[in-house]
Structure 1
Amino acid sequence: LWSVYVSEAEKYDKALVESWKNDMEGILIFAGLFSTSLTAFIIESYPRLVPDSGDATVQLLSQISQQLAAAANGSTFQLPAPLPPFRPPATSLICNTFWFTSLGLSLSCALIATLVEQWAREFLHKADMRSAPGVRARIFSFLYYGLKEFNMHKVVDIIPLLLHVSLFLFFAGLVAFLIPINIPMAAVASFMLACLSVVYSAVTVLPLHYLECPYRTPLSEAFWGISRGLARILRRRRIADDSVWSDGEVTLVEAMSHGATEDTQERDYRALVWTVKSLADETEFEPFAEAIPDVLWGPKSSRFAYRTHLKNLVNHPELEMYHRFLDVFRSCDTGLLLPEASKRRRITYYKALWAL
């Protein structure tokens, strides 16, 4: 009993941890490259936050020149008014605020990603400490529910979100950096930022309306929870269904899984058509034909769940099911198969034809 649990838990946990490690490796590479590029921009922008020593030098030299000229002419030298206190431009403050914040978030992502990789290795190591199935099962259960209790999944999801915020801050800082330099270039950067914001917002919101949508961002799950909460408060239901939607804790992934099992007739038929088309030869087609009798007939009576689908498959003009059956029977007479294999194939396809 425990061996079965250990086998299933080991496959699930190892797949989960490996996916985390692969994600963290990609994030580390991107964060490193992004931080390096961002540092080059910061080197160009941060001198605008301090007074230029060249201005003070020019004023001092001008003062000395005027003083020498006054002494040569015998006139009285009047000290010029001191320079006003230095105030960095607003665009420089905004630009450097965004860029330094972006750099901090990027480096934080790299640190957290490194920690997640370490935690993943420790998780696998602790799970393999004992060999007895009963002990290993308890360790797997103990560690996995520890991951859930301390929201390890959410920590992993936050890392790319921080990196996304860092990227948006970089573009916003780039706009502020270019405004005093060149307005057309600042307009181009603003347009890029606006397009990126629109696309990111659309990708975030689309899964909330279309559960089958493959696009999503780390914010999609958060907006899903908010929309579910508002729907409960306002007594609205986007999907008229049973008790599964009355639970406020339904996640976006669970909602997708539930939606995939509803109104499946058309999707099931498309899947079966694709399956038959993808079976290139008789050897690949044989397992499909072998399953037909069990799909259509039970021990005592016929089954109606897939009867319409298989009838439509037979009548599908592109599939030519009966022609494929004839080709299979001809292949049994070529002498390429062993007698036992040829007999087994004939029996399989005769049963399929009888069921149809």
Structure 2
Amino acid sequence: MYLGIAEEEDRKLAESWKADADGILVFTGLFSAAVAALLAISIQDIRPNPQDTSAFYLANIYQLVANANGSNVTISSSLSNPSTSFSPPNWAVWVNSLWFLSLAISITCALLATFLQQWARRYTKITQPRYGPHKRARIRAFFAEGVEKLHLPLAVDALPTLVHVSLFLFFAGLLVFLFNINHTAFTIVVWWVGLCIAVYICITVMPIFRHDSPYYAPLSRS
């Protein structure tokens, strides 16, 4: 009787872990691709323009050749060495920092999700060995206690929280980026992000006031 109930609970627990991991892997894969695509554009703002560098060295070569021929040629002050005079704007540094951090967290979540899948398979395997009922019950109780003591359910619940943190960091970087690119686009997006944040807060706090609420967020406390 005990083993039957325990095996059913373990099976449901492992399936829920796998389902959470699958969802996180799909989301982080798509999300990371989107962030990486934007980073390929925004990273140009924090490093010198290769065309400016080429123009600087070509101008120096031209000056050397002209001076060797007796001509007095000077380089325009606007063609200073980009490698020494370049300083990225603060907003570009913030945007890239937020997006790189968001990407790093997203990839970390994907890695942890793959670990979670492996842990779920291993837990199912080791808690249902081919032994006698008494020994199987002792093994199951031993590993179930380990799951509780090592706070594995808490670690599983923390994964969606990290995904949400990654998403919020991306939104923050996006708003900074659009604010310095186009104010109309910034206004439209900031309204949408504000609406999403308001809905997220409502979903988070709703279980506190409505215990029958089906809505739930990682930070909810029911």
Report the TM-score range of the alignment, normalised by the length of the smaller protein. Answer: 0.7 to 0.9
Q: Does residue 16 of structure 1 match 2:13?
A: yes
Q: Could you say which residue in structure 2 is the equivalent of 1:207? A: 207
Amino acid at match of 2:5: E
Q: Which has the higher contact order (CA 8 A, sep 6+)?
A: 2
Paired residue for 1:140? Answer: 140
* Residue 130 of structure 1, CA deviation: 3.3
Deviation at 1:159, TM superposition (A): 0.8
1:16 deviation in Å?
1.1
The question of whether the paired residues in 2 share the 8 Å contact of 1:168 and 1:193 is answered with no
RMSD: 2.4
Residues 97-144 of structure 1 deviation map (CA, whole Å, 9 limit, x = unaligned): 111111111111111111111011111111121331111111111111
- Residue 50 of structure 2 corresponds to which residue in structure 1? 53
2:192 is aligned to: 192
Instruction: Tell me, yes or no, if structure 1 residue 177 matches structure 2 residue 162.
Output: no
Q: Is this contact kept in 1: 2:127–2:140, CA < 8 A?
A: yes
Name the residue aligned to 1:111: 111
Distance (whole Å) between structure 2 residues aligned to residue 133 and residue 209 of structure 1: 45
| One-letter identity of the residue aligned with 2:143 | L
Give how far 1:177 is off.
2.2
Render the CA deviation track for 1:206-239: whole Å, top value 9, x for unaligned.
1112212211211113xxxxxxxxxxxxxxxxxx
Deviation at 1:78, TM superposition (A): 4.3
Q: Which runs of 5+ in 2 are unaligned?
A: none
Q: Using the alignment, how far apart are the partners of 2:133 and 2:18 within structure 1?
A: 26
Aligned residues between the structures: 218
Distance 1:27 1:77 in 2: 62
What is the Cα deviation at residue 79 of structure 1?
Answer: 4.7
Q: CA deviation at 1:56?
A: 2.9
**Deviation, structure 1 residue 25:** 1.0
Structure 1 distance, partners of 2:166, 2:175, is 15
Aligned to 1:151: 151
Give aligned-pair identity as a percent.
Answer: 39
- The letter of the residue matching 1:53 is P
3-state DSSP class of the match of 2:140? helix
* 1:187 CA drift (Å): 1.9
Give 1:61 shift: 4.8
Which residue of the partner structure matches residue 347 of structure 1?
Answer: none
d(CA) in 2 for partners of 1:11, 1:71: 88
User: Out of 8, 15, 22, which is 1:25 matched to?
Assistant: 22
Tell me the SS of whatever aligns to 1:219: coil
TM-score, with length taken from structure 1: 0.56
Deviation at 1:178, TM superposition (A): 2.1
Distance 2:182 2:5 in 1: 60
Amino acid paired to 2:170: F
1:295-345 Cα shifts (integer Å, max 9, x gaps) = xxxxxxxxxxxxxxxxxxxxxxxxxxxxxxxxxxxxxxxxxxxxxxxxxxx
Letter aligned with residue 32 of structure 2? S
1:171 is displaced (CA, Å) by 1.6
Are 1:92 and 2:98 counterparts?
no
Go from structure 1 to structure 2 and tell me whether the alpha carbon gap of 1:78 and 1:134 turns closer, same or farther (over 3 Å shift).
Answer: same
**Structure 2 counterpart of 1:22, which letter?**
A
Partner of 1:124: 124
The unaligned stretches of length 5 or more in structure 1 are 222-251, 253-356
1:102 touches 1:170 (CA, 8 Å); kept in 2?
Answer: yes
How many Å separate the matches in 1 of 2:59 and 2:130? 82
Please state how far the C-alpha of 1:60 moved relative to its aligned partner: 4.7
Tell me the CA shift for residue 86 of structure 1: 1.0
Q: Give the AA of the match of 2:165.
A: V
The aligned amino acid for 1:216 is Y
Contact 1:178 1:186 in 2 (8 A): yes
2:35 corresponding residue in structure 1: 38
Provide the C-alpha distance between the structure 1 equivalents of 2:115 and 2:15, rounded to a whole number of angstroms: 14
